[in-house]
Chains A and B, each alone.
Chain A
Protein backbone atom coordinates (compact mmCIF):
# COMPACT_ATOMS: atom_id res chain seq x y z
CA UNK A 1 0.00 0.00 0.00
CA UNK A 2 1.50 3.29 -1.02
CA UNK A 3 2.08 5.86 1.61
CA UNK A 4 0.36 9.25 1.10
CA UNK A 5 2.84 11.92 -0.07
CA UNK A 6 3.64 14.69 2.28
CA UNK A 7 3.99 18.26 0.90
CA UNK A 8 6.11 20.95 2.39
CA UNK A 9 4.31 24.18 3.40
CA UNK A 10 6.03 26.03 0.49
CA UNK A 11 4.90 23.43 -1.99
CA UNK A 12 1.39 23.63 -0.67
CA UNK A 13 1.38 27.43 -1.05
CA UNK A 14 2.56 27.15 -4.67
CA UNK A 15 -0.03 24.49 -5.38
CA UNK A 16 -2.83 26.61 -3.95
CA UNK A 17 -1.64 29.61 -5.93
CA UNK A 18 -1.73 27.60 -9.11
CA UNK A 19 -5.21 26.35 -8.33
CA UNK A 20 -6.39 29.90 -7.69
CA UNK A 21 -4.80 31.12 -10.92
CA UNK A 22 -6.27 28.31 -12.94
CA UNK A 23 -9.64 28.90 -11.40
CA UNK A 24 -9.42 32.61 -12.19
CA UNK A 25 -8.51 31.82 -15.76
CA UNK A 26 -11.42 29.48 -16.18
CA UNK A 27 -13.73 32.07 -14.71
CA UNK A 28 -12.34 34.70 -17.07
CA UNK A 29 -12.80 32.39 -20.04
CA UNK A 30 -16.31 31.63 -18.96
CA UNK A 31 -16.98 35.35 -18.67
CA UNK A 32 -15.57 35.93 -22.13
CA UNK A 33 -17.64 33.20 -23.67
CA UNK A 34 -20.64 34.28 -21.70
CA UNK A 35 -20.24 37.86 -22.89
CA UNK A 36 -20.07 36.71 -26.49
CA UNK A 37 -23.00 34.33 -25.96
CA UNK A 38 -25.07 37.06 -24.40
CA UNK A 39 -24.87 39.06 -27.63
CA UNK A 40 -27.57 37.95 -30.04
CA UNK A 41 -27.00 37.94 -33.76
CA UNK A 42 -30.05 38.89 -35.82
CA UNK A 43 -31.66 35.96 -37.64
CA UNK A 44 -31.27 35.37 -41.36
CA UNK A 45 -27.57 36.00 -41.77
CA UNK A 46 -24.91 33.39 -42.46
CA UNK A 47 -23.32 32.58 -39.08
CA UNK A 48 -19.54 32.29 -38.71
CA UNK A 49 -17.58 31.79 -35.49
CA UNK A 50 -13.97 31.47 -34.44
CA UNK A 51 -12.64 28.36 -32.77
CA UNK A 52 -13.55 29.16 -29.17
CA UNK A 53 -16.70 31.09 -29.96
CA UNK A 54 -15.34 34.31 -28.53
CA UNK A 55 -16.06 36.07 -31.81
CA UNK A 56 -19.23 35.33 -33.76
CA UNK A 57 -20.68 37.10 -36.71
CA UNK A 58 -23.50 36.78 -39.18
CA UNK A 59 -23.37 38.30 -42.66
CA UNK A 60 -25.86 38.88 -45.41
CA UNK A 61 -25.63 40.19 -48.98
CA UNK A 62 -27.12 43.34 -50.37
CA UNK A 63 -28.68 42.76 -52.86
CA UNK A 64 -29.71 39.46 -51.35
CA UNK A 65 -28.88 37.32 -54.38
CA UNK A 66 -25.14 36.81 -54.75
CA UNK A 67 -24.07 36.85 -58.39
CA UNK A 68 -20.81 37.19 -60.19
CA UNK A 69 -20.17 40.32 -62.19
CA UNK A 70 -22.18 42.65 -59.96
CA UNK A 71 -21.08 44.90 -57.11
CA UNK A 72 -22.62 44.08 -53.75
CA UNK A 73 -22.34 44.95 -50.07
CA UNK A 74 -21.93 42.75 -47.01
CA UNK A 75 -23.83 43.58 -43.84
CA UNK A 76 -21.90 42.06 -40.94
CA UNK A 77 -23.27 41.73 -37.40
CA UNK A 78 -20.56 40.94 -34.88
CA UNK A 79 -20.65 39.60 -31.33
CA UNK A 80 -17.41 39.59 -29.38
CA UNK A 81 -16.31 39.53 -25.79
CA UNK A 82 -14.64 42.89 -26.10
CA UNK A 83 -15.73 45.98 -28.01
CA UNK A 84 -15.10 45.59 -31.71
CA UNK A 85 -12.86 48.37 -32.93
CA UNK A 86 -12.61 47.49 -36.60
CA UNK A 87 -13.72 44.91 -39.12
CA UNK A 88 -11.91 44.21 -42.36
CA UNK A 89 -13.54 42.24 -45.17
CA UNK A 90 -11.96 40.58 -48.17
CA UNK A 91 -12.59 37.67 -50.53
CA UNK A 92 -10.22 35.23 -52.19
CA UNK A 93 -10.37 32.31 -54.58
CA UNK A 94 -7.94 29.91 -52.87
CA UNK A 95 -7.75 27.48 -55.80
CA UNK A 96 -6.90 30.29 -58.23
CA UNK A 97 -4.72 32.17 -55.77
CA UNK A 98 -6.25 35.56 -56.37
CA UNK A 99 -8.60 37.98 -54.71
CA UNK A 100 -10.99 40.59 -55.93
CA UNK A 101 -10.15 43.46 -58.27
CA UNK A 102 -11.85 45.81 -55.84
CA UNK A 103 -11.07 46.92 -52.30
CA UNK A 104 -14.10 47.01 -50.01
CA UNK A 105 -14.60 49.95 -47.68
CA UNK A 106 -15.95 48.97 -44.27
CA UNK A 107 -17.78 51.35 -41.96
CA UNK A 108 -19.72 50.90 -38.75
CA UNK A 109 -23.39 51.41 -39.45
CA UNK A 110 -24.82 50.72 -35.97
CA UNK A 111 -23.84 49.33 -32.56
CA UNK A 112 -22.94 45.81 -33.69
CA UNK A 113 -23.28 46.13 -37.46
CA UNK A 114 -20.64 46.85 -40.04
CA UNK A 115 -21.18 47.48 -43.71
CA UNK A 116 -18.66 46.57 -46.41
CA UNK A 117 -19.25 48.21 -49.77
CA UNK A 118 -17.63 47.67 -53.15
CA UNK A 119 -17.20 43.90 -53.34
CA UNK A 120 -17.41 42.14 -56.70
CA UNK A 121 -16.73 38.46 -57.42
CA UNK A 122 -15.57 38.41 -61.03
CA UNK A 123 -15.69 34.71 -61.76
CA UNK A 124 -17.73 31.65 -60.79
CA UNK A 125 -16.34 29.11 -58.38
CA UNK A 126 -15.41 28.81 -54.75
CA UNK A 127 -14.78 32.11 -52.96
CA UNK A 128 -13.72 32.48 -49.36
CA UNK A 129 -14.86 35.53 -47.41
CA UNK A 130 -12.38 36.67 -44.77
CA UNK A 131 -13.41 38.78 -41.81
CA UNK A 132 -10.69 40.29 -39.61
CA UNK A 133 -12.26 41.44 -36.35
CA UNK A 134 -10.13 43.64 -34.11
CA UNK A 135 -10.81 43.94 -30.41
CA UNK A 136 -8.17 45.79 -28.40
CA UNK A 137 -4.77 44.60 -29.57
CA UNK A 138 -6.11 41.28 -30.83
CA UNK A 139 -7.33 40.50 -34.36
CA UNK A 140 -9.33 37.39 -35.00
CA UNK A 141 -9.80 36.04 -38.56
CA UNK A 142 -13.01 34.28 -39.44
CA UNK A 143 -13.58 32.71 -42.84
CA UNK A 144 -16.51 31.33 -44.74
CA UNK A 145 -16.60 29.80 -48.21
CA UNK A 146 -19.35 30.14 -50.79
CA UNK A 147 -19.76 28.59 -54.21
CA UNK A 148 -20.91 31.04 -56.86
CA UNK A 149 -22.27 29.82 -60.17
Chain B
Protein backbone atom coordinates (compact mmCIF):
# COMPACT_ATOMS: atom_id res chain seq x y z
CA UNK B 1 0.00 0.00 0.00
CA UNK B 2 2.88 2.33 0.82
CA UNK B 3 4.41 1.70 -2.61
CA UNK B 4 1.05 2.40 -4.27
CA UNK B 5 0.77 5.67 -2.37
CA UNK B 6 4.32 6.57 -3.41
CA UNK B 7 3.56 5.80 -7.05
CA UNK B 8 0.41 7.87 -7.02
CA UNK B 9 2.22 10.74 -5.32
CA UNK B 10 4.84 10.65 -8.08
CA UNK B 11 2.07 10.74 -10.70
CA UNK B 12 0.56 13.73 -8.95
CA UNK B 13 3.95 15.45 -9.00
CA UNK B 14 4.30 14.73 -12.70
CA UNK B 15 1.05 16.61 -13.26
CA UNK B 16 2.82 19.85 -12.31
CA UNK B 17 3.11 22.31 -15.15
CA UNK B 18 5.45 25.14 -16.02
CA UNK B 19 3.98 28.31 -17.49
CA UNK B 20 1.06 26.29 -18.75
CA UNK B 21 -1.20 27.13 -21.62
CA UNK B 22 -4.83 27.47 -20.65
CA UNK B 23 -5.93 24.19 -22.22
CA UNK B 24 -2.97 22.38 -20.67
CA UNK B 25 -3.95 23.61 -17.20
CA UNK B 26 -7.44 22.19 -17.63
CA UNK B 27 -6.34 18.71 -18.74
CA UNK B 28 -3.52 18.39 -16.24
CA UNK B 29 -5.58 19.72 -13.37
CA UNK B 30 -8.32 17.18 -14.05
CA UNK B 31 -5.69 14.39 -14.05
CA UNK B 32 -4.16 15.76 -10.86
CA UNK B 33 -7.51 15.80 -9.06
CA UNK B 34 -8.13 12.16 -9.92
CA UNK B 35 -4.59 11.18 -8.93
CA UNK B 36 -4.79 13.14 -5.69
CA UNK B 37 -8.09 11.51 -4.76
CA UNK B 38 -6.69 8.01 -5.42
CA UNK B 39 -3.56 8.91 -3.51
CA UNK B 40 -5.71 9.94 -0.60
CA UNK B 41 -7.52 6.62 -0.63
CA UNK B 42 -4.26 4.66 -0.71
CA UNK B 43 -2.75 6.78 2.04
CA UNK B 44 -5.76 6.27 4.26
CA UNK B 45 -5.33 2.51 3.85
CA UNK B 46 -1.56 2.72 4.40
CA UNK B 47 -1.60 5.23 7.25
CA UNK B 48 -2.64 2.98 10.16
CA UNK B 49 0.11 0.49 9.28
CA UNK B 50 2.75 3.22 9.11
CA UNK B 51 1.54 4.85 12.31
CA UNK B 52 1.49 1.56 14.24
CA UNK B 53 5.06 0.68 13.33
CA UNK B 54 6.63 3.02 15.89
CA UNK B 55 4.09 3.85 18.58
CA UNK B 56 2.50 2.35 21.66
CA UNK B 57 4.15 4.22 24.53
CA UNK B 58 3.79 7.81 25.60
CA UNK B 59 6.83 9.82 26.63
CA UNK B 60 6.70 11.31 30.11
CA UNK B 61 5.86 14.84 28.95
CA UNK B 62 6.01 17.41 31.73
CA UNK B 63 3.12 19.77 32.45
CA UNK B 64 4.99 22.58 30.73
CA UNK B 65 5.57 20.43 27.64
CA UNK B 66 1.91 19.42 27.53
CA UNK B 67 0.83 23.05 27.75
CA UNK B 68 3.28 24.03 25.04
CA UNK B 69 2.12 21.27 22.70
CA UNK B 70 -1.55 21.95 23.42
CA UNK B 71 -1.04 25.55 22.35
CA UNK B 72 -0.62 24.30 18.76
CA UNK B 73 -4.28 23.50 18.42
CA UNK B 74 -7.12 22.94 18.07
CA UNK B 75 -7.21 22.77 14.31
CA UNK B 76 -8.67 24.39 12.34
CA UNK B 77 -9.21 27.71 14.12
CA UNK B 78 -12.62 29.37 13.77
CA UNK B 79 -13.20 30.47 10.17
CA UNK B 80 -13.94 34.15 10.62
CA UNK B 81 -14.97 36.25 7.64
CA UNK B 82 -12.65 39.13 6.75
CA UNK B 83 -14.49 42.37 7.63
CA UNK B 84 -12.45 44.28 5.04
CA UNK B 85 -13.85 42.03 2.28
CA UNK B 86 -17.62 42.16 2.04
CA UNK B 87 -17.70 38.97 -0.06
CA UNK B 88 -15.52 36.95 2.31
CA UNK B 89 -17.26 33.62 2.91
CA UNK B 90 -19.54 34.13 -0.09
CA UNK B 91 -19.77 30.95 -2.18
CA UNK B 92 -20.62 32.76 -5.39
CA UNK B 93 -17.66 35.07 -4.86
CA UNK B 94 -15.39 32.06 -4.34
CA UNK B 95 -16.62 30.62 -7.64
CA UNK B 96 -15.81 33.90 -9.43
CA UNK B 97 -12.47 34.03 -7.66
CA UNK B 98 -11.63 30.51 -8.72
CA UNK B 99 -12.33 31.40 -12.35
CA UNK B 100 -9.97 34.34 -12.07
CA UNK B 101 -7.34 32.23 -10.27
CA UNK B 102 -7.07 29.94 -13.28
CA UNK B 103 -7.37 32.63 -15.97
CA UNK B 104 -4.21 33.17 -18.04
CA UNK B 105 -5.72 36.30 -19.61
CA UNK B 106 -4.63 38.10 -16.42
CA UNK B 107 -1.08 38.26 -17.73
CA UNK B 108 0.92 40.10 -20.33
CA UNK B 109 1.51 36.97 -22.42
CA UNK B 110 -1.90 35.37 -21.90
CA UNK B 111 -0.35 32.26 -20.36
CA UNK B 112 0.42 33.06 -16.72
CA UNK B 113 -2.34 32.54 -14.18
CA UNK B 114 -2.22 32.47 -10.38
CA UNK B 115 -2.28 28.69 -10.67
CA UNK B 116 1.00 28.78 -12.61
CA UNK B 117 2.92 29.24 -9.35
CA UNK B 118 0.24 27.98 -6.96
CA UNK B 119 -0.69 24.53 -8.25
CA UNK B 120 -3.18 22.34 -6.40
CA UNK B 121 -1.09 19.14 -6.67
CA UNK B 122 1.80 21.04 -5.07
CA UNK B 123 -0.46 22.29 -2.26
CA UNK B 124 -0.77 25.60 -4.11
CA UNK B 125 2.94 26.23 -4.42
CA UNK B 126 5.13 25.14 -7.36
CA UNK B 127 7.97 23.14 -5.76
CA UNK B 128 10.59 25.23 -7.55
CA UNK B 129 13.49 26.95 -5.87
CA UNK B 130 12.27 30.30 -7.18
CA UNK B 131 9.30 30.89 -9.39
CA UNK B 132 8.87 32.11 -12.94
CA UNK B 133 5.96 34.15 -14.21
CA UNK B 134 6.53 36.37 -17.21
CA UNK B 135 10.16 36.31 -16.05
CA UNK B 136 12.09 34.68 -13.21
CA UNK B 137 11.50 36.11 -9.76
CA UNK B 138 13.81 36.02 -6.76
CA UNK B 139 11.58 34.27 -4.28
CA UNK B 140 10.19 30.85 -3.59
CA UNK B 141 6.44 30.49 -4.06
CA UNK B 142 4.77 29.79 -0.72
CA UNK B 143 1.86 27.41 -0.41
CA UNK B 144 -1.53 29.11 -0.22
CA UNK B 145 -2.93 26.50 2.15
CA UNK B 146 -4.19 28.20 5.30
CA UNK B 147 -3.27 31.61 3.89
CA UNK B 148 -6.48 33.06 5.29
CA UNK B 149 -5.03 32.90 8.82
CA UNK B 150 -2.12 35.24 8.10
CA UNK B 151 -1.81 38.81 9.31
CA UNK B 152 0.59 39.95 6.61
CA UNK B 153 0.76 38.54 3.09
CA UNK B 154 3.72 37.76 0.90
CA UNK B 155 7.14 36.70 2.11
CA UNK B 156 7.93 40.32 2.94
CA UNK B 157 4.49 41.13 4.32
CA UNK B 158 3.99 43.72 1.63
CA UNK B 159 0.20 43.42 1.81
CA UNK B 160 -2.10 43.65 4.80
CA UNK B 161 -5.05 41.70 3.44
CA UNK B 162 -5.49 38.59 1.35
CA UNK B 163 -7.38 40.52 -1.30
CA UNK B 164 -4.82 43.33 -1.58
CA UNK B 165 -2.13 40.71 -1.94
CA UNK B 166 -3.96 39.18 -4.92
CA UNK B 167 -3.36 42.42 -6.83
CA UNK B 168 0.36 42.65 -6.22
CA UNK B 169 1.54 39.79 -8.50
CA UNK B 170 -0.79 41.00 -11.25
CA UNK B 171 1.03 44.32 -11.40
CA UNK B 172 4.55 42.94 -10.91
CA UNK B 173 6.26 43.01 -14.34
CA UNK B 174 8.00 39.68 -13.64
CA UNK B 175 4.91 37.85 -12.42
CA UNK B 176 1.76 38.69 -14.43
CA UNK B 177 2.85 42.05 -15.83
CA UNK B 178 -0.53 43.70 -16.37
CA UNK B 179 -2.15 46.95 -15.39
CA UNK B 180 -4.89 46.45 -12.80
CA UNK B 181 -7.33 47.99 -15.25
CA UNK B 182 -7.03 44.69 -17.17
CA UNK B 183 -8.77 42.85 -14.33
CA UNK B 184 -11.57 45.42 -14.23
CA UNK B 185 -11.83 45.24 -18.03
CA UNK B 186 -12.21 41.45 -18.04
CA UNK B 187 -14.92 41.65 -15.40
CA UNK B 188 -16.79 44.13 -17.61
CA UNK B 189 -16.38 42.53 -21.00
CA UNK B 190 -16.27 38.76 -20.54
CA UNK B 191 -19.82 37.38 -20.66
CA UNK B 192 -19.39 34.80 -17.93
CA UNK B 193 -17.21 36.90 -15.63
CA UNK B 194 -19.50 39.92 -15.89
CA UNK B 195 -22.49 37.71 -15.11
CA UNK B 196 -20.73 36.30 -12.06
CA UNK B 197 -19.63 39.75 -10.96
CA UNK B 198 -23.21 41.00 -11.15
CA UNK B 199 -24.45 38.07 -9.06
CA UNK B 200 -21.83 38.66 -6.38
CA UNK B 201 -21.63 42.45 -6.17
CA UNK B 202 -25.14 43.40 -7.29
CA UNK B 203 -24.02 45.83 -9.99
CA UNK B 204 -22.32 45.89 -13.37
CA UNK B 205 -18.53 45.93 -13.28
CA UNK B 206 -18.62 48.67 -15.92
CA UNK B 207 -20.46 50.93 -13.48
CA UNK B 208 -17.49 51.29 -11.12
CA UNK B 209 -14.07 52.84 -11.60
CA UNK B 210 -11.18 50.60 -12.62
CA UNK B 211 -9.57 50.54 -9.15
CA UNK B 212 -12.83 49.50 -7.52
CA UNK B 213 -13.36 46.86 -10.19
CA UNK B 214 -9.86 45.53 -9.60
CA UNK B 215 -10.39 45.51 -5.83
CA UNK B 216 -13.67 43.63 -6.27
CA UNK B 217 -11.98 41.04 -8.49
CA UNK B 218 -9.24 40.65 -5.91
CA UNK B 219 -11.83 40.19 -3.16
CA UNK B 220 -13.39 37.38 -5.17
CA UNK B 221 -9.98 35.74 -5.60
CA UNK B 222 -9.46 36.07 -1.85
CA UNK B 223 -12.87 34.47 -1.20
CA UNK B 224 -11.64 31.46 -3.18
CA UNK B 225 -8.25 31.36 -1.44
CA UNK B 226 -9.99 31.46 1.94
CA UNK B 227 -11.45 28.03 1.16
CA UNK B 228 -7.94 26.50 1.05
CA UNK B 229 -7.79 25.17 4.61
CA UNK B 230 -5.67 22.14 5.44
CA UNK B 231 -7.11 19.07 7.08
CA UNK B 232 -6.22 17.91 10.60
CA UNK B 233 -3.02 15.91 10.92
CA UNK B 234 -1.64 13.04 12.97
CA UNK B 235 -0.12 15.69 15.26
CA UNK B 236 -3.58 17.17 15.83
CA UNK B 237 -4.91 13.78 16.94
CA UNK B 238 -1.97 13.51 19.34
CA UNK B 239 -2.37 17.09 20.56
CA UNK B 240 -6.10 16.67 21.17
CA UNK B 241 -5.52 13.42 23.05
CA UNK B 242 -2.80 15.02 25.15
CA UNK B 243 -5.02 17.99 25.98
CA UNK B 244 -7.86 15.64 26.93
CA UNK B 245 -5.62 13.45 29.07
CA UNK B 246 -6.26 10.41 26.84
CA UNK B 247 -2.93 8.62 27.25
CA UNK B 248 -3.92 5.61 25.13
CA UNK B 249 -4.83 7.74 22.12
CA UNK B 250 -1.77 9.95 22.56
CA UNK B 251 0.46 6.89 22.70
CA UNK B 252 -0.49 5.96 19.14
CA UNK B 253 1.56 8.93 17.91
CA UNK B 254 4.91 7.59 16.63
CA UNK B 255 7.69 7.60 19.17
CA UNK B 256 10.08 9.45 16.86
CA UNK B 257 7.51 12.22 16.37
CA UNK B 258 6.99 12.40 20.15
CA UNK B 259 10.72 12.85 20.67
CA UNK B 260 10.73 15.45 17.91
CA UNK B 261 7.80 17.27 19.53
CA UNK B 262 9.77 17.44 22.77
CA UNK B 263 12.71 18.98 20.92
CA UNK B 264 10.38 21.42 19.13
CA UNK B 265 9.08 22.91 22.38
CA UNK B 266 12.24 22.30 24.39
CA UNK B 267 15.83 22.22 23.24
CA UNK B 268 14.97 23.55 19.78
CA UNK B 269 12.82 26.44 21.08
CA UNK B 270 11.14 26.34 17.66
CA UNK B 271 7.88 27.39 19.29
CA UNK B 272 9.31 30.82 20.12
CA UNK B 273 8.51 31.87 16.55
CA UNK B 274 6.46 28.93 15.25
CA UNK B 275 3.61 29.43 17.70
CA UNK B 276 -0.03 28.48 17.90
CA UNK B 277 -2.22 26.29 15.70
CA UNK B 278 -0.68 27.76 12.54
CA UNK B 279 2.88 27.14 13.82
CA UNK B 280 3.74 30.75 13.03
CA UNK B 281 3.65 34.02 14.96
CA UNK B 282 2.78 35.63 11.61
CA UNK B 283 5.63 38.10 12.04
CA UNK B 284 9.15 38.26 10.66
CA UNK B 285 12.58 37.03 11.55
CA UNK B 286 16.15 37.01 10.38
CA UNK B 287 17.38 33.42 10.36
CA UNK B 288 20.73 33.98 8.70
CA UNK B 289 19.73 33.34 5.09
CA UNK B 290 21.68 35.72 2.83
CA UNK B 291 19.68 38.52 1.28
CA UNK B 292 21.98 38.96 -1.71
CA UNK B 293 20.23 37.95 -4.91
CA UNK B 294 23.03 38.72 -7.35
CA UNK B 295 26.20 40.85 -7.27
CA UNK B 296 25.05 44.31 -6.32
CA UNK B 297 21.44 43.27 -5.82
CA UNK B 298 19.72 42.62 -2.49
CA UNK B 299 16.24 41.57 -1.50
CA UNK B 300 15.61 43.44 1.73
CA UNK B 301 12.59 41.46 2.85
CA UNK B 302 10.44 43.01 5.53
CA UNK B 303 12.18 46.36 5.18
CA UNK B 304 10.76 46.78 1.69
CA UNK B 305 7.54 45.05 2.65
CA UNK B 306 6.68 47.73 5.22
CA UNK B 307 7.32 50.45 2.68
CA UNK B 308 5.12 48.68 0.12
CA UNK B 309 2.18 48.17 2.41
CA UNK B 310 2.24 51.75 3.67
CA UNK B 311 2.30 53.07 0.10
CA UNK B 312 -0.38 50.70 -1.17
CA UNK B 313 -3.66 52.49 -2.09
CA UNK B 314 -5.38 49.14 -1.51
CA UNK B 315 -4.17 48.79 2.08
CA UNK B 316 -6.45 48.49 5.09
CA UNK B 317 -6.34 52.23 5.71
CA UNK B 318 -7.63 53.03 2.23
CA UNK B 319 -11.04 53.50 0.66
CA UNK B 320 -11.37 49.94 -0.61
CA UNK B 321 -11.55 48.47 2.90
CA UNK B 322 -15.17 47.40 3.42
CA UNK B 323 -14.86 47.67 7.21
CA UNK B 324 -16.25 51.14 8.07
CA UNK B 325 -14.50 51.10 11.45
CA UNK B 326 -11.15 50.26 9.86
CA UNK B 327 -10.48 47.99 12.84
CA UNK B 328 -8.67 45.66 10.47
CA UNK B 329 -6.13 48.42 9.86
CA UNK B 330 -4.63 48.22 13.34
CA UNK B 331 -1.51 46.37 12.22
CA UNK B 332 -0.81 48.77 9.35
CA UNK B 333 -1.55 51.76 11.55
CA UNK B 334 0.99 50.74 14.18
CA UNK B 335 3.69 48.84 12.27
CA UNK B 336 7.06 50.26 13.26
CA UNK B 337 9.85 50.24 10.65
CA UNK B 338 13.16 49.40 12.28
CA UNK B 339 16.71 48.76 11.01
CA UNK B 340 16.41 45.12 12.01
CA UNK B 341 13.69 44.63 9.34
CA UNK B 342 16.40 44.41 6.67
CA UNK B 343 16.81 40.74 5.87
CA UNK B 344 13.80 39.61 7.87
CA UNK B 345 11.27 37.27 6.24
CA UNK B 346 7.87 36.05 7.30
CA UNK B 347 7.87 33.13 9.69
CA UNK B 348 6.06 30.46 7.66
CA UNK B 349 3.44 28.16 9.05
CA UNK B 350 4.61 24.56 9.31
CA UNK B 351 1.46 22.63 8.45
CA UNK B 352 2.20 20.38 5.46
CA UNK B 353 5.74 21.70 5.47
CA UNK B 354 7.15 18.33 4.43
CA UNK B 355 5.25 18.58 1.16
CA UNK B 356 6.22 22.12 0.17
CA UNK B 357 9.99 21.90 -0.40
CA UNK B 358 12.25 23.69 -1.10
CA UNK B 359 12.48 26.06 1.82
CA UNK B 360 13.28 29.62 2.87
CA UNK B 361 12.36 32.80 1.02
CA UNK B 362 14.73 31.95 -1.82
CA UNK B 363 14.25 28.19 -1.88
CA UNK B 364 17.88 27.75 -0.89
CA UNK B 365 17.36 24.76 1.40
CA UNK B 366 16.20 21.63 -0.40
CA UNK B 367 15.02 19.37 2.42
CA UNK B 368 13.73 19.56 5.97
CA UNK B 369 16.97 17.97 7.13
CA UNK B 370 18.84 20.84 5.48
CA UNK B 371 16.64 23.34 7.33
CA UNK B 372 17.19 21.70 10.69
CA UNK B 373 20.93 21.43 10.12
CA UNK B 374 20.92 25.14 9.22
CA UNK B 375 19.55 25.93 12.68
CA UNK B 376 21.69 23.28 14.35
CA UNK B 377 24.94 24.63 12.89
CA UNK B 378 23.85 28.28 12.82
CA UNK B 379 26.58 30.81 12.15
CA UNK B 380 25.63 33.65 14.47
CA UNK B 381 27.88 36.03 12.57
CA UNK B 382 25.48 35.67 9.62
CA UNK B 383 22.63 37.11 11.67
CA UNK B 384 22.16 40.75 10.83
CA UNK B 385 19.37 41.60 13.22
CA UNK B 386 20.75 44.59 15.03
CA UNK B 387 21.88 42.99 18.29
CA UNK B 388 18.91 40.71 18.65
CA UNK B 389 19.61 37.46 20.48
CA UNK B 390 16.94 34.92 19.68
CA UNK B 391 18.67 32.26 17.62
CA UNK B 392 21.55 30.16 18.83
CA UNK B 393 23.03 27.05 17.21
CA UNK B 394 21.00 24.09 18.40
CA UNK B 395 23.85 21.56 18.14
CA UNK B 396 21.55 18.61 17.50
CA UNK B 397 22.92 15.14 16.93
CA UNK B 398 21.82 12.98 13.98
CA UNK B 399 19.15 11.17 15.97
CA UNK B 400 17.67 14.45 17.19
CA UNK B 401 17.62 15.83 13.65
CA UNK B 402 15.79 12.71 12.45
CA UNK B 403 13.27 12.97 15.29
CA UNK B 404 12.56 16.61 14.54
CA UNK B 405 12.00 15.70 10.88
CA UNK B 406 9.57 12.98 12.00
CA UNK B 407 7.68 15.55 14.06
CA UNK B 408 7.48 17.98 11.14
CA UNK B 409 6.29 15.21 8.83
CA UNK B 410 3.46 14.52 11.28
CA UNK B 411 2.15 18.01 10.47
CA UNK B 412 1.13 16.75 7.02
CA UNK B 413 -2.57 16.42 6.37
CA UNK B 414 -3.61 13.12 4.75
CA UNK B 415 -3.38 13.56 0.97
CA UNK B 416 -4.52 15.55 -0.87
CA UNK B 417 -4.08 17.75 2.20
CA UNK B 418 -7.04 20.00 1.83
CA UNK B 419 -10.67 20.09 0.86
CA UNK B 420 -11.63 22.76 -1.60
CA UNK B 421 -14.94 23.08 -3.32
CA UNK B 422 -13.84 23.20 -6.92
CA UNK B 423 -16.11 24.11 -9.77
CA UNK B 424 -16.72 21.08 -12.02
CA UNK B 425 -14.79 22.77 -14.81
CA UNK B 426 -12.55 25.43 -13.33
CA UNK B 427 -11.34 26.61 -16.69
CA UNK B 428 -14.10 26.13 -19.18
CA UNK B 429 -16.18 29.22 -19.69
CA UNK B 430 -19.81 28.44 -19.20
CA UNK B 431 -22.71 30.82 -18.65
CA UNK B 432 -22.79 31.55 -14.94
CA UNK B 433 -26.51 30.81 -14.70
CA UNK B 434 -25.74 27.16 -15.50
CA UNK B 435 -23.59 26.45 -12.44
CA UNK B 436 -24.83 23.44 -10.44
CA UNK B 437 -26.13 24.45 -6.99
Contact = CB atoms under 8 A, between A and B. Distances in A.
Task: Please indicate whether A and B come from the same complex rather than being unrelated chains.
Answer: yes
Contacts of B283: 101, 122
Contacts of A118: 330, 333-334
B210 to A, nearest CB: 33
B272 A69 contact: no
B71 A149 contact: yes
Contacts of A28: none
Interface residues of A, number: 21
Given A68-B281, A123-B281, A98 B330 contact: no
Contacts of B330: 71, 117-118
Interface stretch (A9-17, A29-37, A102-110): A102-110
B271 A124 contact: yes
A2 to B, nearest CB: 62
19 contacts: A68-B275, A68-B281, A97-B387, A97-B389, A98-B340, A98-B385, A98-B388, A100-B336, A101-B284, A103-B334, A103-B335, A105-B333, A118-B334, A123-B272, A123-B281, A124-B272, A124-B275, A125-B272, A149-B71
B243 to A, nearest CB: 14
A95 interface: yes
A99 to B, nearest CB: 8
Interface residues of B, number: 25
Contact of B331 (A68, A71, A95): A71
A96 interface: yes
Interface in B354-399: 385, 387-390
Interface in B119-166: none
Interface of B: 67-68, 71, 271-273, 275-276, 281-284, 330-331, 333-336, 338, 340, 385, 387-390
A52 B422 CA distance: 67
Nearest to A93: B390
B335 A123 contact: no
A67 to B, nearest CB: 9
Given A98-B390, A123-B273, A104 B281 contact: no
Interface in A69-101: 69, 71, 95-98, 100-101
Contacts of A100: 336
